[in-house]
Amino acid sequence: MKIIASLGIIFVFVGSLSAQPATDPFAGTHRSLVEAATREATAAREALANQPSAQPAIDLPDLAEIETAPGLTRLRELKPVIGPIFTMHDVPQEFLLVGLVESGYRTNAVSPADAVGMWQFVASTARRFGLIDRTGDYRTNLIRSTHAAAEYLKSLLAQYKDWRLALAAYNAGEDRVDRAIAAAGSADFSELARRRLLPEETLTYVPAVLKRMAEARSAGLIQAGGGKSPPITRIAPINLRNWRLFPLTLEEMH
């Protein structure tokens, strides 16, 4: 992460947060994930091609082309596929931007912590949501991993009833967030941030995702004010002493 601090104001550079595909000495792992992602994309296309004609066709994008495009362009290409999955699970479309910050929408991304895929599931969480089972590891599967991410985000939103806390838990884990809440005696994300009770990575990650949400709205990729989408006020610069810059509790969504 690159953070430039001046007079208490922190500017967040989102690109550096994205997990990058593995490089040497993990080149073999990277190649295997690319091959797995290609196989999954091919299988998905074949399955969609065999759908009854009464079913609406989904144009599955070329993952290789998407991975070389800028982040919001990737979202534009992927949204017809991953957007309906989030809608199916009743998760606000803004949370599609988690994939941009996590991996740049790269299905073959691998983090230093061994989180894998577009939604950066570690093995333990992947098992919880059915991405790793006796038949294999499906974290690079575009469709299956997106269902799992939507299920996970829905559970976090239901648990914390606050977008910022849900994002913090996606990044740092529920246990870490629960301990921070207990230590602060408050479930106010602003208070947790002020007291630095969450990892610095998480305190950077949350506004980074919120910033990308605002950018996607400005680009017309996400419709503001529709469904469960709350208003998002100005995003940058980010002042860690004023986290109420982001009014994102469930009560403020309506």
Task: Name the nearest CA neighbour of 189 among 215, 157, 214, 167.
Answer: 167
Rounded to 10 deg, the angle between the 142-160 and 163-172 helix axes is 120
pLDDT at 254: 25
84 membership: H or E segment, kind and range: helix 71-88
pLDDT at 135: 94
What strand order describes the sheet that includes 3-6? 3-6, 9-12, 238-239
Q: What domains, with CATH codes, occur in the chain?
A: 3-253 (1.10.530.10)
pLDDT at 128: 96
Q: Show pLDDT as tens, one digit a residue, over the chain (254 residues).
A: 433 333 333 333 333 334 433 333 333 443 444 454 455 445 545 554 554 444 444 444 454 454 445 788 889 999 999 999 999 999 999 999 999 999 999 999 999 989 999 999 999 999 999 999 999 999 999 999 999 999 999 999 999 999 999 999 999 999 999 999 999 999 999 999 999 999 999 999 999 999 999 888 888 888 754 444 444 433 333 333 333 333 333 333 22
pLDDT at 219: 86
pLDDT at 98: 96
What secondary structure does DSSP assign to 151-217, as a single string?
HHHHHHHHHH-BHHHHHHHHHH-HHHHHHHHHHHT---HHHHHHTT-S-HHHHHHHHHHHHHHHHHH
Residue 219, helix vs strand vs coil: coil
Report how far residue 198's alpha carbon sits from residue 188's, in angstroms, rounded to the nearest whole number: 12
* Greatest Cα pair distance in the chain: 61
For 187-199, give the secondary structure using H, E and C. Answer: CCHHHHHHCCCCC
173 within 8 A of 204, measured Cβ to Cβ = no
